[in-house]
A = this chain, B = another copy of it.
């Protein structure tokens, strides 16, 4: 670590803690950078800010395009800001996979919220893998906490694999549903409902109010059967557009916080998340190095095709490739 990098990191850390919004944006840009020297400064910055992190409610919010996620987050953000909180909104989906309104940039989706002094909205970093986005989002969350934001919303589209990554970095994972039939009709991928700590049926107004009531009843029944642990997953309804039911959602999040702080579940969950984060960093880096190793790259595609076609045993293909990758470190 160079002295300059350390000094830069210390200065930036002070500015972030003082509430300087441009410093906050710059700090997040720094951790999003893949340049090796930036990464050094980023790690020094995170180390300096770490003692001031952890004091927020970390929320994951997921829902398929069309569920009204932006409208919900805006109404929800304005509600909790009205109660004196500071809200940061981070997105985790790799931008290439995004659909719908977000093509115009996240801020244009939440016009009123983005004007608030106590709100900070950060679009998803562009053109990178889910693993990369998830790592940076975890770090951005810590930086926002050090900057004084006490409600962090991590947003994802409920159609892919990013939901597991988000559920693994928050205290409470909320799934927004449409007033409609089951998962398949709503376009929700298998296993995502099981991740939810809280289910909210949005658009419960006007013509859809009755359908919303049925959807709430159906999911309550299903989740009661599949429930696990002390927390009984609540199924609520709201209308983000008409700002109805948002207060109950926030109140329920408070109940979850109180319960999980009292019974130790939140601390346990955060410790497990940190350990899982360490191992996922290690695994992803090892696999990246493996894939980019010249002797592996030479035959990987061919062997993978043979394995998929059923003409080579996976263990034998793995053995061949690993032998090449590990040969050097064994000889060293």
Interface residues of chain A, those whose CB is within 8 Å of chain B, are 39, 43, 46-47, 50, 53-54, 135, 138-139, 142, 181-184, 189-191, 193-194, 218-219, 221-222, 224-229, 270-272, 274-275, 277-278, 281-283, 285-287, 289-290, 303-304, 307-319, 321-322, 325-326, 328-329, 331-332
Contact = CB atoms under 8 A, between A and B. Distances in A.
Contact of A313 (B47, B311, B321, B325): B47
A294 to B, nearest CB: 11
B328 A271 contact: no
A191 to B, nearest CB: 5
Contacts of A43: 313, 315-316, 319
B316 A285 contact: no
A329 B135 CA distance: 25
Contact of A182 (B227, B274, B331): B227
A315 B281 contact: yes
Most chain B CB neighbours (cut-off 10 Å) among A289, A308, A326, A329: A329
Contacts of A322: 281-282, 285-286
Contact of A329 (B314, B315, B332): B332
Contact of A190 (B224, B228, B316): B228
Most chain B CB neighbours (cut-off 10 Å) among A311, A315, A328, A329: A315
B310 A270 contact: yes
Contact of A311 (B50, B227, B331): B50
Contacts of A190: 194, 226, 228
Given A278-B307, A282-B322, A183 B227 contact: yes
Contact of A282 (B189, B290, B313): B290
Contacts of A271: 308-310
Nearest to A54: B310
B228 A218 contact: no
12 contacts: A46-B313, A47-B313, A182-B224, A182-B227, A183-B227, A184-B227, A184-B228, A271-B310, A272-B308, A281-B322, A283-B287, A329-B332
A183 B318 contact: no
Contacts of A228: 183-184, 189-190
Contact of A328 (B139, B226, B329): B329
A150 B212 CA distance: 48
A183 B226 contact: yes
A315 B135 contact: yes
B290 A278 contact: no
A139 B314 CA distance: 10
A318 B50 contact: no
Contacts of A312: 47, 50
A82 to B, nearest CB: 31
Contacts of A283: 283, 286-287
Contacts of A225: 181-183, 218-219, 222
Given A46-B313, A286-B287, A328 B318 contact: no
Shortest beta-carbon contacts, A-B, top 10: A281-B318, A328-B332, A222-B222, A182-B225, A277-B314, A278-B314, A329-B329, A328-B329, A190-B228, A286-B286
